[in-house]
Structure formats: structure tokens, C-alpha cells
Structure 1
Amino acid sequence: MAPGADKKLESVFSGIGVPRNRPFKPDRFQTDAVAAMAESDCLVTAPTGAGKTWIAVQTIRRTFESGGRAWYASPLKALTNAKLIEFAEIFGPENVGILTGDRKESPDAPIIVGTTEILRNQLYDAMHQGVSMNTDLVVIDEAHFLGDEERGVVWEETLIYLPARIPLLMLSATVGNAGAIADWLTTIRGRSCRVVAETHRPVPLYPLGLHPSGTLMPLTVTGEKGGKKLYRKVAALAGGKKTSAPTHGRGLPPFGDILRVLKAYDLLPAIFFLKSRSDCDAALKFCHGAVPLPVDRKAAIFDRIAELTENSPHLARHRQRIHMEQAGVASHHSGHLPGWKVVVENLMSEGLLTAVFATSTVAAGVNFPARTVVFFNSDRFNGTEFAPLDATQMQQMTGRAGRRGMDKIGFALAVPGRYMDLRLVARLLSSRPGKVHSRIRINFSMVLNLLLSHTPEQVEELLKRSFATWLLISKAADSPQKSRMAGVHEVLWEDFLRHLDFLKETGFVDTANRLTDDGIWASQLRVDQPLLVAECLRQGLLPAGDAAQMAGVFACFVNEKETDDRLEGRLVPNRLKKTVGRIHKKLTGFARHMKSRGFDVRDLYLRPAAMTHAWAAGYPWEHVAKDYSMPEGNLAMLMMRTADNLRHTANLTDVFPEAAATAREAIGLIMRSPVIEDETEGGDQMAED
């Protein structure tokens, strides 16, 4: 590739640079949102980097200074940890606490940051105790998670249960039906919810295309009717069979050449979005020598990595460290340890890196923007198959282009190739984000917790408040279908009754629809498979007294995927194999009963149990990852989710003291470096989740 640029880009590239430093002045939408929160709820939609956090800070400040308490909920532990640091600097560390599955610090502080699951669980507890939750403001960040297929139910439950007296501020960059959500909230809370929308990006976005020769071109131009269409030279690529450029042996694009093109036109740093974790890792070796680093930059990277990994010898020896120090590049994906991702995020945010190669999941929730984002695919793996990107996903990726205060323009570079539909990309770039849909569903944990404080009739009234019900009723308004659609909540209600009947059959609920003693303690098992864990406790199947085995057993319950259970004999201790086998045998009847009533039951696999047991028993981390063929990030996630599940059993000290003590000990065995870098977050730090 020879770096080149279409003449149409001359005026655009002349505008590249750092904006003049001006005193901060809030935008109109920011002041409007703060004013709205004085008298109503508010849903703010604004592009990434537009300043939504400023609204949250001002609203929290008003509550704090009047002697009130505030709760800031986020979907990701990494975001929550970042907000703890940010808010501690603003309000003072003594005034900010954190509640996640891993951390419980200053839970009585007037300002709490935590995950949405913890907030939902606190609402369960408040309803059970017959009290109003002890907060005067709730802020829900990344509000579009309401539509998340897996976790959206937690967001919807939180919004349904939240007392109307508590003002609600919701923040999101990607909600296509904000008005509908606000109308629903106004209906169920009896309190006005205003939408404050901002579409203007703080840093304008300019889309580019790359010719296989190395020439940069505008991706789109304005058509005769005012809309956007592909630039004619890009359209020629879209209609042909040309690829982006000659590929390397693995079929990867020539990343080094692309970096040289970007460097020639001052378009670095860049985030490259790739389709797989292995591609992200493999890309690094092709970047050496492409953009030579000045000696002082290399020294700064070396010193910063040393500082960030000072307390973690494992991270200090990371195999990708050399790529950061020598070429200024890094990969970032879920296969890496959380601690290593923090290192990458810090270096990128501080302007020390030239490029980061990431999977598209980094687009949501991680704050390290770049001048340019580069993408090679117009599809994304959804867990089952590759599906075309939608407008929301595209907006999340391009939202990283352009650093506020550091860039006058941000760029999105689409590289033509085999998996790139340029016409689709052009459409998505000018499309509104997709609509958020209700993901509410009934599960046993929900039913048990609602029955702590509600009769079935009261639960039915709650289910009528769901976003799903409201959406269907509103669509059917004034139509012949209205009366039929008004009973749409019956689908949820019938599912609730199905769960309730099973709980009665198994002794967790009595004939008067009240929780039995077993049901009361089982309601505290807010885990993936609460009834299987509860049945283990009832039958005394858990290995109380053996913390390493306890950790291994719980890993079986959190594993979600089918796995290859063929393992070398040395990798599965006989005692663990017998314990898991005994649990499997003893639960067979209960599991068969569940399946006969139409409930899904996950299989219990030995591999996650064996690797978790090995780590808990003191086997070296590197050996566990290698011997069990598990990427470090996946292994760390297994440990964190296992610890999350163990915590609920650890809280049952009054009912199962020995199992609770063993569960607490097991948490300490698995929640240590490099799973977490601050060991005080381990076994002696319990969270109410």
C-alpha cells in the first residue's frame, strides 16, 4: 500500500487538530436535563462523549448537598470501579461507597455506585422488610441495557419496583424509542418522565473508505435529494470483487500498511474492530516497524506498565507487553484478564498507544476513544452466528471515534473486503439507533423474592406494569384488538403460576401461597440455578468443610455452555469426580421433575469444576489456563461468577452454618491475583447480591 488521499479529503484533513482550550460551559441539553430532574424523572439520550456524566454529577450533587443519598447503577463492574474513582475525586472518598459482586466498601456512604443487579436485590430486600429503599435518587447508566437479551429483565424489574418517591435519571447513547420508555415510566410510576435528547456529536464524525491501493476516500457524499450515498469510487469497490488488500498467511488484512496510511494523514491513534479474539492477538505482530515509536514514548510506556503492574508479577510478565513497549499496540477482548484490560485502557486513554485491536464488545462501556475507528466487517457474532450489524451496534463502535477536547474531527474507516457490505454501513451511519424491547421473563428467583412481600394477586398487578404489556396495549389502542391485548400480561401471569405450582410441589411454597421456611432461605439464592443449589443444601450434598471442592461444585452451576468433559485423569482428582458424580445422581430425580414441568435444566460438567478446584487448591494460574485450555479472561470470568454464586450460600449462616463458612472460605481461595488485583476484594469482602 502506498498512502494516498482523494482530493475531496483535502479540506477535511486540513481541519484535523486539537481544539482550542476553552472554559467549560454546559450544553443546553445538559442544563435542560438537570432542570428536569428538579421536578420529574428524566431519560437522557446523547452521543458517546457528549457529557451525560456531567448531568449525573450535578443531579447527585444537588441531592448530596441537601443531605440526601444517591445510587448510581451501571451494567459493568469495570465501569462501576471507574465511577468510584471519579466520584471520590468529586465528592470526597469518605462520601462514596461501592457495591458489586466483588466489592463492598462504605455501604452506608451517602453516594453508592454499584451494578444494577445489586440495586435490584436491594429493592427485593426493601419490599420484604416493608420499608422504602434508603436512597433519594437513582441514576441508571447505559439505560439501553433494558433491551439486553440476558440482563434486560433486571433493568425492567428495577424500574417496576423502584418507589415513585425516588427520582430516576436514566442515561444512554443508543435508545431509538426513548419516548415510549418515558411514557411507560410515567404510566407505572405516576410521575412525569421527560426525554432530553441530543443528537449532535461533540466531535463530528467523518466516514472514510480505503482503496486497496492505500488511498483514503470519502465513504459517502450528499446525493441530489439531500440524503447520503456511497462515493462513486467506493461504490465501484462495493460492486466488485476486490478485497481490501493482499492478506497475510492467516488471511488477515495488512495492518502495518494500514497503520502507515493512517499515520501519513495524522489519523492515529486508532481502534481496529476485528471479528475474533484470535485475530486481535495475531494482528499485533504485523505492526512492528509500521509506525516507529520515539524513544521517549517507549520509555513512557515502559514506566507506565511497570507502575500499573507493580503489584501483579503475572501481569508484569504478560506475553503482549513487548508489543506495547516496542510498537505501541495492544489487543483488548474478553479473553484477557480484567487487570490486563485495565492496563491497556489506561495507556490508550493517556495517549500512549498507537492502536488497539479489539472485538466489537469493547464498543460498549469502555472509555478509551481514538481519533479513528477502523472496521472490516459489517456483521458481528451474536453468540450463535454472524448477523448484520444494526444501527445501535454501529453507533456504539463509531462513538469511540473522536476524543473530546483532543480532536476536532473523528473518523470511521470502513475497509472493503469479503465481509464488508459498504452499502449497509452507509445506511447504518445515518440511521437512528434501534428500539429497545422488553426482555422481562419469569424465573424462580423472581417468584421467590416477590412472594416474600406480595400475594400472587399483588404479583399479577406488578406484571401488568411491565414494559412488554404497556407496549402491546399502546399499539392496540383504539383498535378492535384493544380488549384482547389488554390481557397480554396473562402470558407472564400464566408463566408465574407455572413457576408457583412447581414451588408448591417441591416444598418451597405452601398451599396458602406463602413461602415455607425452605422458600424463605432459598429466596436469598439470587443465582443462576437457585433451585438446584437449594436442593443440594436441603439434601446436604455440598462438600461442607472442603473449600476447594465447594468452589469446584459451584463452578458446575454457573457454567452455561456445553463443554468437552474428556480430561486427562491427572486433571480430575478422584474425590472431586466422586462429589460431582454424587450430586449429579442425587439431583437426577429433581432435575427430571423440573424438565417434566417444562423448565430448562443445565447439565453439570466436570471440566469447569476441575479447573476451578485446581485454582482453589493452589495450582499455578498459568498451569490451570494451559492444562484446561481456557483463555485467561474466560477463566477469570468463571472464577468471578463462581464467587458471585458462592456469596449467596455464604450469607445463609443461620440456616446452613457449615456450608456458609465453607463457601466464604472458597471465595477467598479463588478471588485472588490475577483474578483480581486487590486481594482485599476477596473472601473477606461480602456483597449483598
Structure 2
Amino acid sequence: MNSSHKPSGKPGAKPHFRKKRHSADKSPAGRTMKPGSDPRLKPVFAKIGVPESKPFQADPFQEKAIEAVGKGDCLVMAPTGSGKTYIAEKAIEKVFSEGKRAWYASPLKALTNAIHTAFCRQFGEKNVGILTGDRKENPDAPLIIGTTEILRNQLYDAMHTGEDIRCDLVILDEAHYLGDPDRGVVWEETIIYMPPRVPLLLLSATIGNAEEIAGWLESMRSQTCTIIRAKRRPVPLQPLFFHPSGTLFPFLAEYDASLHIGRKGLHKKVLQYLSADKPPLLAPPRRLPNMADILAVLRHYNLLPAIFFLKSRADCDAAITLCDEAGLLADPERASALRNRMDELTRFWPHAARHPQRMHIERRGVAAHHSGHLPAWKMVVETLMSEGLLDAVFATSTVAAGVNFPARTVLVANSDRFNGTEFMPLSSTEFHQMTGRAGRRGKDRIGFAVALPGKFMDLRHFGRMINAPPTEVESQIRIDFSMALNLLLSHTPAMVKAIMNRSFAAFRIAHRLTGKSSRKASAGAAELLFADFNRHLRFLKEKGFVNNDDRLSDDGLWAAQLRIDQPVLVAEGFRRRLFPEKEPAVMAALMACFVNEREADDQEIPEHLIPEKLLKAFLHLRKQLQPFAKEMVAKGFPVFPLYLTPAVTVYHWTSGISWEEVHKNSPLAEGDLVRLLMRTAENLRHVGNLAHVFPGVSKNAIAAVNAILREPVTDAYTL
């Protein structure tokens, strides 16, 4: 299929609108919008089309990066879609040619699965393994694709046994995750623990303090770190303003799309809109705009396919109901191909085949995509979009980094993002992750980022973000009990202090205070981290996990294997014999209580849904652990509440109840439910490693994992 999305008619032709329309779907003035554009956009729209096919030739930044790999560490920063994976492929080929091994770490399981599939085609299945916690396939292959947590855990094990990690090159994809509030600590640990003999290749689209990171690596690893930058987008970006009348305007007063440089502030029409006493609205308050009208304007100017970034999951699901069938009616060939491809993709995923939003895809050529959906369904949507069979996908900005498909146009409806606690203005990194999806390399000569005015859109902030420099990466390292236990497997407190001196946090503080990396300043800056380590150490001693000689006790040795959210609290549960040796469903349910997922908080559950034996086990567990938890809180350590709701949900699924029934009785969206079950299975696998200490519970945990792993949960890592 031709994915360029030809315009619906001649320039100026009247676009197709629905004949019947609910009054709530009209514009506030009661009129449908009419396509229009500023005359200065005529030469911009003339650039739309598929670029001329040319033989592949590596860009200069790719050649420089390939040359630098292996001579030391290398940090590559290039816009989304510019070919960073090509650098990784060539680096791996070089490693293979020397009979060596490589590790490719990514932050997301979905991305890890996609990379694994691509590299199996590139290098052959026998040469590629995958390790994500959920999947363990071909672990002795010369190339391992996995999550960064697994790589960090392998480094823990190597330090414990005194063995060198079996790896000669490590590729850290999405390296800006070093600054992620939740995951950054794992990235920093991985870099600190990695032997200097193993060169690092760090790939990222946006890092604002690359020199600082490179300086940290050089000071810690005693070898050169080469910085490679590519600022030019592979597909130039044109920012637009979508006026509620249906007219498109340049967003900036002056803009060079080829250089991605804007000057002289906002376009006068944007300023007029901002200064109006009562500016026109795309939709009434608390309502979504008529997406059919917006798509008609985009279709008129050949700006499809498009990704709409909306504020919430509910908005994404509602948006597809506000679209019409105009796109597929105008292109029956694509409509037929879409239905056939849908049948092919869902043949082996019955839950995706029965998805309630399937009708919207097949009738309207649009889809919603967010973390509340089943992984298999999201893969179907991504595949259809990537193949040019959809007009639009409606997604939340929170999944922008994980969206695995580009489009000609990206539309942004809100200038803030929910960070799990509150809505905060988009950072430049988040903004460029979203707009980085605009423009498909090899399919587009130009891409578009469109601002949709509304209650949640700060147009001035949107304008600032277009040319904003990348966000600086901040150190997120922090001490927790899992880190403390695992470091004590192979390090004395004095050695741990030396590790804290090597942290990016210490380097940053020293560099900011002295203007250079001084060992004295770094040592002083690391004192705070080491003081927190000692605070954890004292508690571990009090509770018998560490002996007076600062070595792990027998309990500490097996507790270190619990690389989960709350290892010490779970370990106390084992010492008190609170976990069952039989009843896999009860075991799974109790472990689900320790999964730290915001969506899995307690909600009211009908009494008839709570099995008596589960309630009894849950109440006993909570009562027995309460004194220990109170001591932790008194010493300033975080303790997450134990909730019954996720326990009941996981119990029902592990007991063999159908997905439809479990989902109906659960407050969780399907995607959140899969995530809870997968996280629970991960916890149970760690318990399965304790067979030498708790053989009965360990065996029960493995049985629980096997009971959890059935469709559609297994679809999450067999894609």
C-alpha cells in the first residue's frame, strides 16, 4: 500500500463531511470548520511527498560513531529516526567479527522485544538471545537483548562471584533514561559497575549536558568518551497552528524547517488568538473537538497519517468515536487491505481479535493507543500505522517515548504531562519525543507538528519548546535495601564508599562547586550518599540481615536475591513463615500486594468476590508484618501499603478464571492488569531462586508463575 495518503481531491476541493452530525459535535458557533491555510504555507505543502529513493549511504555522524566505538566509550545524540540503530548494528558486526560478545540494553520491554525481533532477522536467531525477566531465550548467545535491570543484576552476580561479565560491548539505548526519576538509578548503577574494559555505546535523542556525562565517564572509567552529535532531523519539521476555524497557520513568525530554527517569536495569527478577549474554541469546555472535522482539514492538505497526543486515556478512547468514515470511503483499496491485515494480525491473539475498538479501525481507519490497552492490541495498532493503513492514532503523551511508529503529522492538544503525581509542563525532552514522531524517513520529505488550542494548551510554552535545548540529565541515584544488600554481597562499607565517590551525583556536585572534577570535592559530595547507605546498614544489622563485621548473615545472603520493590519486608515475611507452600493462587495474590503500581491501589470489592482463604492469609500477613513496617517507617524508610484489591484480582486469574471475568470484576484497565500480573510473576521468579532455603514456598512460587502465564498475559512478551 502507498502510505503517503494522497489528498482527497484537487486543491480547494470540498472535503467529505458526514451528512448526519450530533449537535454536540459541531463547533461552538454551530458550523463545521472549513479547510484553509495561510498563503505562506503553499511552498511548505508543496514539499509534501515521498522522497526519491536512493541507495543507502551512511551519514557522517554515523561513520564517526562507528569509528569511535571500541576505542573507548561513545555517546551518540541524534534526533529520532536518524539512524542510531544502524550504528549499533555495525558495532555488533565488528564485535562478532572478532569472536566477541555484545549486550544491548533498553528501558522498555516492548522496545526490547521489537529490537530482539529485528536483530534476529539481522544476525540470525541462533546468535541473539533475550532477557527481560519475563523472557529468557538463548541466554548464551553472543548478542543479548535485554532490559537494563537484567544487565544490572548480572553485574551484581558477577561482583559477588568474582567473575568477569561475559560481554565485550554494551549498548545503552535511550541513554537519557539515566535521568528518569524511577529508572535512572538502575542506569547509573549499571554504568558504575561495568568493568572499564567493556566499552559503552550510549544512544539518545536528547541530552542537554552531554559534556558533563562524558566527563563523568572519563573520570570514572579512565578512558576517552567521544561525543557524536547530529542536530539535523532526517525529515525537516514544520510547526503549525490549527485555528478553530479550520485554517492552518505557521506557528512561528519565521522558521527554517530544514535547520529547525525559529526566529522573531510567534506568528501574528497565534498572537492575535492569544490576545483575543473571547477566542474561538475547538470544542466546548470539557468536551473533545470533532475529530472528523480536524481529520478532514488534514486530509485536504495531505497531512495524514497523524498521531494525536491527548491528555488522558479516556480522551483517546472517546476521540475515535468522533471520527467518520470519510478516509476509507475515499480509498476502498486501503479499506480492504486494512480489514485483511487486521485478520492476519489477530489470528493468533483471540483477545485482540475481539477488542471492542476493532470496529473503529475497520470502519474509520483510526485507533487509540495507550497503556490501558492489551500489549497485543497496541502491537496491532502500531503495525497498522507503520504500514500506512490508518489515518490517525490517538495516544497519550505519557507513552510518547514508547510509541513505535511515525506519522507525517503530530498534533499536540496539551502542553503538560501527568508524571504520576501531578500535571507538569512538558519538558523539552518530552516535547521532542512527541514531535520526533513527525515525518517518516524514506516516506516523507517534511513532517508537521500542530498545536491544537484548548484549555490544556499553553501556546507560548509550545512555542518555547520548539527550539528549546535538550533537558539536562540529573543523577537519580539513591540507596535502597536491594542496592545495600547486593553491594554487601561483594563489598565492604569502605568499598561502597568508593563506589559512591564514582557516582554521577558526586561528580555533578563536585563539578558545579569547583568548575572541574576534583577528587576531593567528589569525595565530599559522596558523603550524603554514604551516610544514607550507613543508615540502611544499621537497620539491616538491627534486623539480623548483616553481622557485626559488616558481612551479610545467612538471612542477608538469601534476602539479596529478592531484587524487588520491598525486599526486606518480604524477607521478614519469609522469616515469619507467612507465605504458603501450597495454593499457588494464594501465593501469587500475596506477592501481588508487594507490587508497587499506582494503578493497583485499594478500591472497594464486593464481598462475594473475596475468597475466605485469601482474606484470612492477607489479614494474617498484614498483621504479622505491621510491627516490622512501623519500625521501618520510624527509621525513615518508605513502606508501601499492602492492598487487598490487587491480591483478589491476581488470585482470580491464577485460579484459572477467564480473562473476561477477571477484567469485569477488576477496577484495572486491561493494560494495567497485564502489568500487575507480569510484575507479580517477576516477584515470584525471585522467590523461585530461594529453593535452597525455602524449598516448599519456592516450588509454590514457580507453580504460581506458570498459572499466571497464559493468554493474554503471555502475549505481552511473545510479540
TM-score normalised by the shorter chain: which range applies?
over 0.9
Partner of residue 531, structure 2: 494
Bigger drift between 58-67 and 248-257 goes to 248-257
Shift of 1:335: 0.5
Distance 2:436 2:526 in 1: 37
Q: Which letter does structure 1 place at the counterpart of 2:226?
A: R
Aligned to 1:397: 434
Q: Residue 365 of structure 1: CA displacement?
A: 3.0
Deviation sequence 1:546-600 (CA, Å, 0-9, x none): 1011111011000444834421111110100000000011111211221121111
Q: Shift in Å at residue 65 of structure 1?
A: 1.3
**Where does 1:379-458 land on structure 2 (aligned, <5 Å)?**
379-458=416-495
Structure 2: how far apart are the matches of 1:383 and 1:652? 33
Q: Residues 252-295 of structure 1: CA distance to partner in whole angstroms, max 9, x if unpaired?
A: 01211000000000000000000000000000111123433422
Shift of residue 296, structure 1, vs aligned partner:
2.2
Aligned to 1:5: 37
* 8 Å contact kept, 2:479–2:533: yes
Summarize the Cα distance change of 1:60–1:485 in structure 2 as closer, same or farther, 3 Å threshold.
Answer: closer
Instruction: Decide which moves more: 669-678 or 540-549.
Output: 669-678
How far did residue 657 of structure 1 move?
Answer: 1.0
The 1-side partners of 2:40 and 2:717 are apart by 55
* Preserved CA contact (<8 Å) 1:100 1:118: yes
- Unpaired runs of 5+ residues, structure 1, are 682-689
CA deviation digits over 1:278-337, x for unaligned, max 9?
000000111123433422222222222222221222211100000111111000001001
Of 344, 351, 360, which aligns to 1:323?
360
Write out per-residue CA displacement over residues 633-677 of structure 1, whole angstroms, 9 at most, x where no aligned residue.
111110011111111001111111111111111111112111122
Matched residue type, 1:196 = I
- Determine if contact 2:565/2:596 at 8 Å carries over to the other structure: no
Q: Which of residues 135, 138, 154 is equivalent to 1:122? A: 154
Structure 2 distance, partners of 1:226, 1:644, is 47
Instruction: Answer whether contact 1:244 1:416 (CA < 8 A) is retained.
Output: no
- In 2, Cα distance between equivalents of 1:607 and 1:126: 38
Letter aligned with residue 599 of structure 1? F
Contact 1:223 1:229 in 2 (8 A): no
The CA deviation string for residues 158-191 of structure 1, in whole angstroms up to 9 with x for no partner, is: 0000000001000000111111001100100011
Offset of residue 142 of structure 1: 0.3
Match of 1:686 in 2: none
Counterpart of 1:572?
610
Q: Report the CA distance shift for 1:24/1:599 in structure 2 as closer, same or farther (over 3 A).
A: same
Matched residue type, 2:335: K
Superposed, which structure 2 residues align to 1:9-408 within 5 Å? 9-222=41-254, 227-242=263-278, 245-247=281-283, 251-293=287-329, 294-408=331-445
The answer to whether the 8 A contact 1:370-1:400 is kept is yes
Change (3 A) 1:244 1:612: farther
Could you tell me how far apart the structure 2 residues matched to 1:332 and 1:425 are?
A: 23
In the aligned structure 2, how far is the partner of 1:475 from the partner of 1:40? 25
* 1:624 equivalent among 658, 662, 671: 662
Q: Distance in 1 between matches of 2:412 and 2:279?
A: 14
Structure 1 position 680, deviation (Å): 7.9
TM superposition shift of 1:243: 5.5
Aligned equivalent of 2:550: 513
Query: Within 2, Cα distance between the matches of 1:593 and 1:416?
Result: 51
SS at match of 1:292: helix
Partner amino acid, structure 1, of 2:266: L
Q: 3-state SS of the aligned residue for 1:182?
A: helix
Name the counterpart of 2:15: none
In structure 2, the residue matched to 1:465 is 502
> Within the alignment, does 1:634 sit opposite 2:672 as a pair?
yes
> In 2, Cα distance between the equivalents of 1:381 and 1:201?
27
Distance 2:186 2:608 in 1: 41
User: TM-score normalized by structure 2?
Assistant: 0.92
Bigger mean CA offset, 597-606 vs 21-30: 597-606
Unaligned runs of 5+ in 2: 1-32
Q: Distance in 1 between matches of 2:400 and 2:563?
A: 29
- Please state if 1:649 is matched with 2:687: yes
CA distance in 2, matches of 1:419, 1:226: 24
Contact 1:584/1:604, CA 8 A, preserved across alignment: yes
Q: Structure 1 residues 486 and 538, CA, compared in 2 at 3 Å: closer, same or farther? A: closer
Aligned pairs, number: 680
Other structure's SS at 2:514 match: coil
Q: Kindly provide the CA deviation profile for residues 514-552 of structure 1, in whole angstroms up to 9, marking residues without a partner as x.
A: 011111111110000001111111111102211011111
SS of residue in 1 equivalent to 2:714: coil
Residue 674 of structure 1 is matched in structure 2 by 712
Q: Please, what is the CA RMSD of the aligned residues?
A: 1.8
Could you list the per-position Cα deviations for residues 617-637 of structure 1 after superposition, in whole angstroms to 9, with x for gaps in the alignment?
112212222212211011111
Q: Secondary structure at the match of 2:328?
A: coil
Letter paired with 1:18: V
The 8 Å contact of residues 95 and 101 in structure 2, kept in 1 or not, is answered as yes
Say whether the 8 Å CA contact 1:245–1:254 is kept in structure 2: no
State how far apart, in whole Å, the 2-side matches of 1:577 and 1:193 are.
Answer: 56
CA change 1:548–1:478 in 2 (3 A) is closer
Equivalents in 1 of 2:519, 2:686: separation in Å? Answer: 43
Per-residue deviation, residues 132-167 of structure 1 (Å, max 9, x unmatched): 100000000000000000110000000000000001
Code of the residue aligned with 1:465 in structure 2: it is: R
Alignment-derived partner of residue 558 in structure 1: 595
Task: Map 1:569-608 onto structure 2 (within 5 A).
Answer: 569-608=607-646
Q: Bigger CA drift: 557-566 or 338-347?
A: 557-566
Which aligned runs of 4 or more in structure 1 are off by greater than 4 angstroms? 223-226, 241-244, 481-486, 678-681
Measure, in 2, the Cα distance between the counterparts of 1:588 and 1:316.
Answer: 45
In structure 2, how many angstroms separate the alpha carbons of the residues matched to 1:657 and 1:307? Answer: 44
- Taking the aligned partners of 1:150 and 1:52, their CA distance within structure 2 comes to 25
Report the CA distance shift for 1:602/1:324 in structure 2 as closer, same or farther (over 3 A).
Answer: same
When the two structures are superposed, what TM-score results if normalisation uses the length of structure 1? 0.96
Displacement of 1:60:
0.7
The alpha-carbon deviation at position 223 of structure 1 amounts to 8.7
Change (3 A) 1:347 1:644: same
Q: CA deviation at 1:366?
A: 2.6
User: Cα distance, 1:200 vs. partner?
Assistant: 0.4
| AA matched with 1:120 | R
- Counterparts of 1:629 and 1:363, CA distance in 2: 25
Change (3 A) 1:612 1:241: farther
CA distance in 2, matches of 1:654, 1:488: 41
Amino acid at match of 2:271: A
1:249 offset after TM fit, Å? Answer: 8.8
Match of 1:684 in 2: none
